[in-house]
């Protein structure tokens, strides 16, 4: 049974940091791209960051470039998102996901196979 379980969300002031974690099971993580998406109320789910299999390349949406860092530990079956210099506009539910799609399409939510339930991140001004 495939499972992705996010943790680490919470309430933080603008300028602060959070580290999200994603524990995985039920699929061969080293064969999958791993990524983070987010969805704010009234908005569509959007790409945040991805780590290619087997973790050689990383990709970010422009607004988080230089502030967020995605990493993965295949041996522990974990994926992380370190978020620094958080802004109120980063407030959203953050989802961990896995994909076997071509790298050219990983920014599209429909190209991801498995999803976690999400963790809420709230950044106060």
Alpha-carbon distance 76 to 44, whole Å?
31
Is pLDDT at 41 greater than 90 in this prediction?
A: yes
Start-to-end CA distance of the chain, whole Å, equals 40
Q: What dihedral angle (degrees, nearest 10) is formed by the CA atoms of 65, 40, 121, 36?
A: -50
- Using one digit for the tens of pLDDT, what is the confidence trace for 64-117? 999 999 999 999 999 999 999 999 999 999 999 999 999 999 999 999 999 999
pLDDT band at residue 38 under the 50/70/90 scheme = very high
Computed over every residue of the chain, the mean pLDDT equals 96
- What is the model's pLDDT at position 53? 86
């Amino acid at each position: 049974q495939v499972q992705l379980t996010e943790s680490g969300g919470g309430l933080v002031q603008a300028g602060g940091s959070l580290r999200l974690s994603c524990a995985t099971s039920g699929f061969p993580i080293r064969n999958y791209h791993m990524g983070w998406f987010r969805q704010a109320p009234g908005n569509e789910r959007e790409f945040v960051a991805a780590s290619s299999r087997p973790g050689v390349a990383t990709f970010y949406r422009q607004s988080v470039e230089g502030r967020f860092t995605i990493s993965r530990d295949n041996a522990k079956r974990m994926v992380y998102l370190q978020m620094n210099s958080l802004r109120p506009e980063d407030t959203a539910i953050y989802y961990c996901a896995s994909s076997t799609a071509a790298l050219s399409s990983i920014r599209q939510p429909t190209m991801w196979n498995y999803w976690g339930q999400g963790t809420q991140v709230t950044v106060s001004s």
